[in-house]
Amino acid sequence: MKYGIKILLFITLTLPITLMYSQANYCPEFMLLIQKYKSKSYNDAKLYLDTVLLKCPDQKNEAYYWHLSGFTYLDVYKYIDGKSPISKARETSINSFMESKKWDKTNKFTVHNDQALNILANTYYNDAALILQNEDTVNYENAIVFYNQYKDLKKKIQPDYDFSEKDLSYNYVMGNIYKYKYENNKRYYRFYVDSSIICYNRALDIDSNHYETLYDLGILYHNLGVDVILNDLEVDADLEKVIIMQEKAIGYFSAALPYLKKIHGFKPTDEQIVQGIAAVYYSLNDMEKHVKYMDVLRDLKNQPPSNK
């Protein structure tokens, strides 16, 4: 990719220089800007971008000027800011490339502008991925911003891009993060559960058979049922309240079952799933089925590893 950009830059920088000389609105500062850029003096090039606009205001309507501005800021973002997620240069670079596209009536720079924008879009995606990969419950809001920036930009350069696969992973991991937020403080972070369920369901809307989401959603529902009794119900609660809370818990236990049973169908030898189903039946006080699944679990555990 690195070499690709260098070749791309060589072409895009050298061709229009000759054109610049032939133009009536010759701008010597622009030549200096190119020189600074080529010598990798990115901060100086940045300053010359402003000088060019000051001395040659017509350049603000030139696709090539913005194209060069885009690459200058892209390199500032890469080499000076060290690809920092908070680098302002990245945004400026994107805006410059977009501006270049706007003025590029003959599509002279379209391919290279789009390639650079695609690279920049991927940097947002990677920033989001880094946070989500660690299931970082502190910086997760940045991941949401980065992911949305990635999608917004990608849509501009590739309107028909299929985000399904990435949206699936994103929503699944966000579901986990919200779940962890809730688990960190069940009393005060109750609202995160709704966000978690929404994200898991979004993932299932994309792929209704997504194993991990079905698993985590099933377990989440079961745990919510237990939490209703263990955390939300006071030991001296009125009987009326006890009955209401019990109904709520049963609702959660019942909701857990279809998800776990579905993945049990996909992978009948997965011991964790069998144990999960057994736990749900225990909570539902269906001891016959609880014992049935515990027997299945025992058989699975007794199987030699080669049969699993």
Partner 1 sequence: MKTNFKIAFLFSLILVLSAGISTAQTDASKTAKVKLKGIYIYSFAKNVYWPQDYSTGDFFIGVYGDNDLYSQLNNSYTDKLIGSQKIKIKFFNELDQIKDCHLLFVCEEKMKDIGSVRKKISKQTLLVSEGENLVTTGSMINFIYIQSRLKFQVNKTKSEKNDLKIGQTLTKLAHSII
**Given the rule CB under 8 A, which residues bind partner 1?**
1-2, 83, 119, 122-123, 125-126, 128-130, 132-133, 135, 165-166, 169, 172-173, 176, 179-180, 212, 215-216, 219-220, 222-223, 225-226, 229-230, 233, 235-240, 242-243, 246-247, 249-250, 253-254, 272-273, 275-276, 278-279, 282-286
Residue closer to partner 1 by CB (options 76, 219) is 219
**DSSP letter (8 states) at residue 87:** -
CB of 45 to partner 1, least distance (A): 21
Number of other residues whose CB lies within 10 A of the CB of residue 239: 7
| The token pair that represents 245 in the structure block | 């809370």
Burial 51-73 (b: 16+ CB within 10 A, else e): ebbeebeebeebbbbbbbbbbbb
Q: How far apart are CA 283 and CA 230, in angstroms?
A: 13
Indicate the burial class of 250 (C-beta count within 10 angstroms; 0-12, 13-18, 19 or more): middle
Q: Which is nearer to partner 1, 52 or 121 (CB)?
A: 121
Structure tokens at 288: 């016959």
Q: How far is the CB of 123 from partner 1 (least distance, A)?
A: 6
Of the candidates 65, 67, 41, 40, the residue with the CA atom closest to the CA atom of residue 55: 65
- Give the nearest distance from C-beta 193 to partner 1 in angstroms: 13
State the nearest-atom distance from the C-beta of 125 to partner 1, in Å: 6
User: Considering the complex, what minimum distance in angstroms separates the CB of residue 17 from partner 1?
Assistant: 26
Judged by CB, which is closer to partner 1: 114, or 212? 212
The DSSP secondary-structure symbol of 25 reads: S
Q: Which is nearer to partner 1, 30 or 259 (CB)?
A: 259
| Residue whose CB is less far from partner 1, 52 or 256 | 256
Inter-residue contact 186 to 230 (CB < 8 Å): no
CB of 31 to partner 1, least distance (A): 29
Is the distance from CB of 109 to CB of 63 less than 8 angstroms?
yes
Residue placing its CB nearer to partner 1 in the complex, 41 or 246: 246
Tokens of 260: 């776990």
